[in-house]
Structure 1
Amino acid sequence: MWPQNTFFMALPHVGPIVGWLFAKQHMPNWYATLKKPPWWPPNKLFLIIWTAIYSTKGYASYLIWKDLGGSLGRLLALPLGLYAVQLILNWIILLLVFGAHNLGLALCHLVLLFGLVLGMALSWYSVNGLAVLLLLPYLAWLTVTTSLVYLLWMDNPSSAPPSQTHFTGGKLD
């Protein structure tokens, strides 16, 4: 099962690599100007944590695939369907933050992603308990990430895209 295991562990990394290639040109200028909370983790820590989480949730998805028969059957539709949707939503975060600079939309997106991962964990519970446990660091880090994006959004109102309108004091700006 080595090739399948490797595939499942590598797949989650595809989106961030592609997203980073797209967003890296926008990242240094805009990102550096953001007001960040004092407890903001170093950028290298983000890379290390997300790499570990992507690998871990990839391995967890492999466990689900293996325990449900190791092929693409009907039993896999819900558990791995939820996994695929959350994976795509996770990949979009980089584009929302670094490409579109839309922290408000990224925050809504993260809340939706958290709920989806929680639902995915519940659907996996009856299949493989270890796979669910492997998702706990992901849920914890999503909580941290959501709070960081919330603080960025609150502390950097000027970072919203120019096409967004803001309601202040009875008039639209």
Structure 2
Amino acid sequence: MSSSSEFLKIAGAIMLPNLGGFVNGQITRKHIDNWYRHLNFPSYRPPNWIFAPMWTSLYSGMGYASYLVWRDGGGFGGDAQLPLIAYGTQLALNWAWTPIFFGKQKMLAGLVDLLALTATSSLCGVLFFKINRVAGYIFIPYVAWLSFASLLNYSVYKLNCGDKDKKEIEAATLKKE
């Protein structure tokens, strides 16, 4: 296999998650000034400028990790099949968070998505590790960031929980009883 062919596969794997990140960045920008900046935040919230480079590096890492697993695990028909399904699932959950949190302004639903994302990403990292150790290790900072993002989402929710969210919680609680 030629090195240029391999390079294109790596580049494609890295660009895929970043494409979703770019689209979500456009969604986020629309809501920063008219909604997000007016929320109450915990003291440990990083400055807004941190998020774009953080996500770009995490997306690039996870994309490269997916390439390693695809390459070493026999592609979609080999041992890599389940890990790549987990990868696609966590990527879909990742991309869903921005439209939920920023687009629909549903902080609680965003938190639920983040918790599912963190669990799925953790599983993905373990499955990747079984195929390629480096790919598994690449998921450690990603899962750590998702854990922090979950805490941040929870804190923002708690600091801004409005009557609408309280009613949604009460309605969901009554349905369970």
Structures share fold, TM-score greater than 0.5: yes
TM superposition shift of 1:142: 0.4
Pairs within 5 Å for 1:18-37: 18-37=23-42
Q: 1:115 aligns with which of 112, 119, 133?
A: 119
1:110 and 1:142 in contact (8 A); partners too: yes
Residue 129 of structure 1 corresponds to 133
SS across alignment from 2:45? coil
Q: Which runs of 4+ in 1 moved over 6 A?
A: none
Runs of 5+ consecutive residues of structure 2 not aligned to the other structure: 1-5, 172-177
Q: 1:28 to 1:113 in 2, by over 3 A?
A: same
Determine if the alignment matches structure 1 residue 140 to structure 2 residue 144.
Answer: yes
For the 8 Å contact 1:101–1:160, the answer to whether it is kept is: no
1:161, CA displacement in angstroms?
6.5
| 2:109 paired residue number | 105
TM-score normalized by structure 2? 0.87
Structure ranking higher on relative contact order (CA contacts 8 Å, 6+ apart): 1
Alpha-carbon offset, residue 14 of structure 1: 1.3
1:63-112: CA deviations, max 9, x gaps?
A: 1011023x432433201011011001100111111101001011111111
1:167 aligns with 2:173: no
Matching residue's letter, 1:45:
I
RMSD: 2.1
Mind listing any 5+ residue stretches in structure 1 that lack a counterpart? 169-173
Larger fraction in helix = 2
Check the 8 A contact 1:100/1:161 in 2, yes or no. no
Q: Distance in 2 between matches of 1:56 and 1:144?
A: 18
Q: Which moved more, 1:15-24 or 1:38-47?
A: 15-24
Q: Which residue of 1 aligns with 2:98?
A: 94
Aligned length: 167
Counterpart code for 2:98: L
Distance 1:140 1:151, change over 3 A: same
Letter in 1 for 2:135: A
Counterpart contact for 1:16–1:94, Cα < 8 Å: no
CA distance in 1 between counterparts of 2:164 and 2:30 reads 18
Q: Which amino acid aligns with 1:25?
A: K
